[in-house]
Amino acid sequence: MFDIDYDDEGKIVCTGRLDAAQCEKGQAFMDEITESSTLDFVQLDYISSAGLGILLKTQKRLAESGAALRIINVNNHIYDVFHYSGFHAIFDIKAK
């Protein structure tokens, strides 16, 4: 199960497991983002390289207009994956 939606404060809340079977849903949502945004991963349990690809693609697109994604409340397992992938250098990431 994976879900992605805005909360009342305008943050984008991701829930569940973002695996390769869910990346179309994630990509479709992210393609609509046109300004700097905060992704709240407080309820995201898991991400694989398919999800990392969506984040990277979106960050690259937003950077062209000077915008960026910020990712907060990242669990320690996903944080490790971000670190392995070098994402700490290209995203503003805050652990849980």
Partner 1 sequence: MKRAFARSNDSLTAIYEFAEEILAAGNVTDAARFAIHLALEELFVNMVKYNPDAKGDIDIEVTVEDKVTVTLTEYGVPEFDVTVPKEVDIDATLEERTPGGLGVYLIQNLTDSLDYEYGDGRSRVIFTKESGI
List residues near partner 1 by CB under 8 A.
1, 17, 19-21, 46, 48-50, 52-54, 56-57, 59-60, 63, 76-77, 81, 84-86, 89-90
C-beta of 7 vs 88, nearer to partner 1 = 88
C-beta of 6 vs 84, nearer to partner 1 = 84
Q: What is the largest CA-CA distance in the chain?
A: 32
CB of 77 to partner 1, least distance (A): 4
Helix extents (H) in 1-96 = 23-30, 49-63, 76-84
Beta strand residue intervals within 7-51, DSSP E = 12-18, 37-47
